[in-house]
Amino acid sequence: MTDNTATTTKLKNLHVITWGCQMNVYDSARMEDVLRPLGYRPVSQVEHADMVILNTCHIRERATEKVFSELGLLKKIREDRLAQGHERMVIAVAGCVAQAEGAEIIQRAPYVDIVLGPQTYHRLPEMVARAARAGGHVIETDFPVDMKFDFLPTEAAPQTPENLSAFLTIQEGCDKFCSFCVVPYTRGAESSRSVASILSEARQMARHGVRELTLLGQNVNAYHGLDAQGASADLPQLVRALSRIEGIARIRYTTSHPRDVTQSLIDAHRDEAALMPFLHLPVQSGSDRVLKAMNRGHTADEYRDIIRRFRAARPDIAISSDFIVGHPGETDDDFEATLALIRDIGFAQAYTFKYSPRPGTPASAADFQVDEAVKDARLQIVQKLIRAQQDAFNGALVGRDVAVLLTHKGRKPGQVVGRSPYQQPVIIDAPEHMIGRIVTVRILHTLTNSLAGELIRETICA
């Protein structure tokens, strides 16, 4: 659908820089949506931008310092543009660092115009107007009770062919307060969108060609949104409703928490064909002592049991996880317990992190911080083990036929890239017009981070 507003408003260039998780990718797309009626259209080069939004992430190490260093670069670009006779570029900082640092950002970087937290981006047009009027700074980092989703434009940007697989945030915030994590402080308390608003956004995405939906939330399986009758619906109920939308062939969700896994979610993996056989279920550690110190609320054996039940329901399910090595107090024995858990489960992939203290979190003030050199050594060991498991998982697919959603052109002419049910990129020779289809591909061999295959059928295997 074309945007008539943009034709009557002066067109301006918007460049959004996104750091961090998929929820930030989703938020950046929605910020582009809310600014579109003001005439802003996305551009890929920051040098051409009338407005830049730096959408930040607080999870990674030295997050705040990286923001200030990037802001220094943006200031320079703004000065160069002014020297070339362009209008003053608006600089906005969004996301979790904006939430955590607030006014500190304006103090250290007074040239920033707008600072907005992750819960307030629906108010961006008003903030842009206020910043222009006052010629000063606008800071919006409260957690409004009204949910931002209720204020977003109902017509989002048309999906491009590359965008056949889209993110949809269904839940935000977290009440779990793991010892190491800033999310409860930056994203606020746990809250879920209503079933109706999610279905309406998903239908619109499907109309624009989206075939694969990834439902997002900090604790996505804690989802408890209200349905049309005012009753609380859980994630499996939502998945069932979404799978009935015409065009939506695949559904994924991330990130889930072991404590919120229910039998009905496990059953949904057995019953719902659209639910992909891939589960990202972070465990962080295999040691009960460390899990307790982390405040994760479950033991290593409880995690093993959850995976056993998923596999009983859906034998081909691929398991992914997050691990932190070197949490305060982690001994050699604790680390060995993590390696034992990894060997027991057999992961298709996993993200591995070295513990890094986050100001304001309990672990950052804990005694017995682990030596950096020990953390480095443990990270290498754990990464090697995960890499071997990932290679084994990918290797086991060679010679097998899998359903692949073709999403975009490959780097070489005649190549098309798609995604397997297990999240791997799969490269095949196929005509471009097949992008958007789900086809049967025989896996021929593994590449470093993807699989090479050949087209077997233009439909999917039963």
Footprint on this chain of ligand SAM (rule: CB under 6 A): 21, 59, 180-181, 183, 218-219, 255, 257, 282, 284, 322, 324, 353, 355-356, 358
322/284 Cα distance (integer angstroms) = 5
- The answer for residues whose C-beta is within 8 angstroms of residue 209's C-beta and 6 or more apart is 159, 161, 163, 164, 247, 436
| Binds ligand SF4 (CB under 6 A): choice among 41, 75, 176, 354 | 176
Furthest C-alpha separation in the chain: 67
Indicate whether 285 belongs to the interface with ligand SF4 (CB under 6 A): no
Q: Which does 184 bind (CB under 5 to 8 A by kind): ligand SAM, ligand SF4, none?
A: ligand SF4
Q: 230-239 burial, b if ≥16 CB within 10 A, otherwise e?
A: eeebbbbbbb
**In angstroms, what is the minimal distance from the CB of 393 to ligand SAM?**
20
Spell out the alpha helix ranges (H) of 244-371: 263-271, 288-293, 300-313, 332-345
**In angstroms, what is the minimal distance from the CB of 223 to ligand SAM?**
13
Mark 116-155 with x for binding to ligand SF4 (rule: CB under 6 A) and - for no binding: ----------------------------------------
Residues 357-376 that bind ligand SF4 (CB under 6 A): none
Q: What is the DSSP string of 382-420?
A: HHHHHHHHHHHHHHTTTT-EEEEEEEEE-SSTTEEEEE-
By C-beta, is 52 or 283 nearer to ligand SF4? 283
Q: 172-197 burial, b if ≥16 CB within 10 A, otherwise e?
A: bbbebebbbbbbbbbbbebbbbbbeb
Q: Which does 177 bind (CB under 5 to 8 A by kind): ligand SAM, ligand SF4, none?
A: ligand SF4
Q: What are phi and psi of 282, to 5 degrees?
A: -60, 140
Q: Which does 259 bind (CB under 5 to 8 A by kind): ligand SAM, ligand SF4, none?
A: none
Which DSSP helix (H) or strand (E) runs through 22?
helix 22-35
**In angstroms, what is the minimal distance from the CB of 176 to ligand SF4?**
4
Indicate whether 352 belongs to the interface with ligand SF4 (CB under 6 A): no
Q: Which does 353 bind (CB under 5 to 8 A by kind): ligand SF4, ligand SAM, none?
A: ligand SAM
**In angstroms, what is the minimal distance from the CB of 182 to ligand SF4?**
8
406/408 Cα distance (integer angstroms) = 6
**In angstroms, what is the minimal distance from the CB of 155 to ligand SF4?**
31
Q: Which two three-digit tokens encode residue 122?
A: 């629906």
Indicate whether 184 belongs to the interface with ligand SF4 (CB under 6 A): yes
**In angstroms, what is the minimal distance from the CB of 195 to ligand SF4?**
23
* Contact criterion met (CB below 8 Å) for 456 and 444: no
**In angstroms, what is the minimal distance from the CB of 321 to ligand SF4?**
12
DSSP tag of 359 = T
Which DSSP helix (H) or strand (E) runs through 125?
helix 124-134
Q: Which does 324 bind (CB under 5 to 8 A by kind): ligand SAM, ligand SF4, none?
A: ligand SAM
Q: In sequence order, what are the beta bridge partners of 67?
A: none
**In angstroms, what is the minimal distance from the CB of 181 to ligand SF4?**
3
Q: Which does 322 bind (CB under 5 to 8 A by kind): ligand SF4, ligand SAM, none?
A: ligand SAM
Q: Given the rule CB under 6 A, which residues bind ligand SF4?
A: 174, 176-178, 181, 183-184, 218-219, 257
